[in-house]
Amino acid sequence: MTVPEDLLYTNEHEWVRVEGDVAVVGITDYAQGELGDVVFVELPAVGTAVKQADAFGTIEAVKAVSDLFAPASGEVVEVNPLLTDAPETVNKDPYGEGWMVKVRLSSAGELANLLKADAYKQLVG
Amino acid sequence: METRKTALYDVHQQAGAKLVEFAGYYMPIQYRGIIEEHRRVRTTVGLFDVSHMGEFIVKGPNAEAFLQKITINDVSKVDVRQVQYSAMCYPEGGIVDDLLIYRFPDHYLMVVNAANLDKDWEWANRHLIGGVTLTNESDRYSLLALQGPMAQKTLQKLTALDLNKIDYYWLDEAEAAGVPMMISRTGYTGELGYELMMPNESAVKVWKAVMAAGAEFDIEPIGLGARDTLRLEMKYCLYGNDIDQTTNPLEAGLGWITKLNKGEFISREALLQIKAAGLKRKLIGFDMPGRAFPRHGYAIYSGGERVGVVTSGTFSPSLEKGIGTGYVPVELAAVGTPLEIEIRNSRMPATVCETPFYKK
């Protein structure tokens, strides 16, 4: 299970990569391992406003369904088109090709509420 | 109560299993992934540890009479070395558990669901009659399921017994991998397969021998996750999902094991009345187009009205779409009937379909 040092994390197992005023969001390696084979990712349309800690989408694995929680508030500016036909990409490359949405941050100060890699490692033990 | 380990716990860990607590045991939910394990069983062969299942031995001159009293199928029709699918019901007709009954030359074996073990043991003892010795052997035996088109070729390498001589739902006692065991041609996947029962001390030896024998067929260990998707594709009932104390065997589609004319048994009066009154609802199978997946507990709608609840639902790895089961009023049970499943506050289309969902 990998936890890249350069990302921020939520308690609900999303990760964030901050690129200027945009946050790239996905789920962690731990989360994809717990979920198992992902068969569907339901994501919001470009232009949707999301709010930190609110559900913004869902992820379906064979056995279970989980909500996805927004790590930060803002507007969805891009949705990963690959996941429509290849949702299993989330299992194969959770921190890379398996990213889910890009959000233009409306209050960058919120990022202070997220966990750093060390804290997230402790969370998932 | 402390979570227990089957005799194969260490083997599962070494194989990289994700172990979760199930019915009081640490059980492998998956090894390499549910979809891949599922396809392996459908296309070649896989090996399951189902040692959490409960085993009761029924002995004595009144063993048959006792089983006739507490189960709904006709035990008098079971020959020596034959296996029968059956259920135990409450006097009101609800289901205590579903089970397999195996007949040996001098005794019967009941294999019951792990989650119901204590309840079943209490129920069986409460209805015990004279001339019967009932023993709970669940802690002594391990149960392996070898399932898939290559199951026979795999097992045949390990035993001198001609496996062609064991028909579907029959058993034999033989040595395999140097271990005396019970071999039955049974399973919960819809594939050709066998279940092997042996004392715990021999389980690791047998597991390793079967895995080695199956290597040429790309055998893999299979977890409970794929066991569930495999059984649901066949519409085999799962206790706690599709059947329970609030459902009766007739509406569950288990009329074929409900032998109302076999003589007296617990639940007969209630089931006769239910049958005479006509069924109100039925357990149906439905499928869903697109990427909509039903789950246990989701509401079923028809014409804007809530008409039932999904009892089992999943992504079907064979059909690559959502499939599910649920109870609906009989007038909505015909194949082709449109339904709606409520998934996260939206109602998604579903259609009552033929079952088993998966056909060869």
Cβ-contact B300, B285 below 8 angstroms: no
Q: What is the pLDDT of residue A125?
A: 84
Select from B293, B310, B346 the residue whose CB has the most chain A CBs within 10 Å, as the one to mutate to test that interface.
B293
Average pLDDT, chain A: 96
- pLDDT for res B201: 98
What integer is the mean pLDDT of B296-308? 97
pLDDT in tens, A37-92: 999 999 999 999 999 999 999 999 998 899 999 999 999 999 999 999 999 999 99
Count of the separate structural domains present in chain B: 3
Please check whether residue B285 is in contact with residue B352, taking contact to mean a CB–CB distance below 8 angstroms: yes
Nearest to B300 by CA among B318, B286, B289, B290: B286
**Domain carrying residue B337:** 280-353
Q: Say if strands B220-221 and B46-49 run parallel, antiparallel, or are unpaired.
A: parallel
Judge whether residue B169 has pLDDT over 80. yes
Once rounded to an integer, what is the mean pLDDT over residues B37-43? 98
| Band of residue B216 on the pLDDT scale cut at 50, 70, 90 | very high
> Averaged over B183-195, what is the pLDDT?
98
> For the segment B83-129, what is each residue's pLDDT rounded down to a tens digit?
999 999 999 999 999 999 999 999 999 999 999 999 999 999 999 99
Is residue B248 a part of any domain in this protein?
no
Q: Are residues B190 and B143 in the same domain?
A: yes
**B62/B111 same-domain check:** yes
pLDDT of residue B360: 82
Calculate the average pLDDT of chain B: 97
What CATH architecture does domain A8-108 belong to? Beta Barrel (2.40)
CA separation (Å) from B307 to B18, B182, B287, B340, B348?
A: 37, 45, 17, 10, 14
CATH number, position B108: 3.30.70.1400
Whether B270 is in a domain gets the answer: no
Q: Are residues B127 and B166 in the same domain?
A: no
Contacting residues for B173 by C-beta, under 8 A, at least 6 apart: B104, B180, B181, B182, B183
Confidence (pLDDT) at B1: 73
* Min Cα separation B228/chain A (Å): 9
Domains in chain A: boundaries: 8-108
Per-residue confidence at B163, pLDDT binned at 50, 70, 90? very high
Chain A CB contacts of B30 below 8 Å? 36
What gap in Å lies between CA B245 and CA A49, rounded to an integer?
46
List C-alpha distances in Å: A9 to A23, B80, B290. Answer: 12, 61, 32
Structure letter (DSSP) for residue B2: P
Judge whether B267 lies within some domain: no
Residue B225 shares a structural domain with residue B160: yes
Residues in chain B closer than 8 A to A37 (CB atoms)? 33-36
Restricting to B residues 330-359, those with a Cβ less than 8 Å away from any Cβ of A are 344
Boundary residue ending a domain (B233, B248, B267): B233
Same-domain check for residues B158 and B206: yes
pLDDT of residue B236: 98
Distance from A52 to chain B by nearest Cα, in Å?
Answer: 20
Give, in degrees to the nearest 5, the angle at Cα B80 between B150 and B214: 15
Q: In this structure, what CATH number is given to the domain that contains residue B342?
A: 2.40.30.110
Q: Whose structure tokens read 């206790």?
A: B239
What tens digit of pLDDT does each residue of B244-268 get?
A: 999 999 999 999 999 999 999 999 9
Q: Are residues B199 and B309 in the same domain?
A: no
ipTM above 0.95, yes or no: no
Please report whether residue B275 resides in a domain.
Answer: no
Structure tokens at A33: 């391992």
Which whole number is the average pLDDT over A19-27? 97
CATH number at residue B207: 3.30.1360.120
> CA torsion, points B215, A61, B301, B258, in degrees to nearest 10?
30
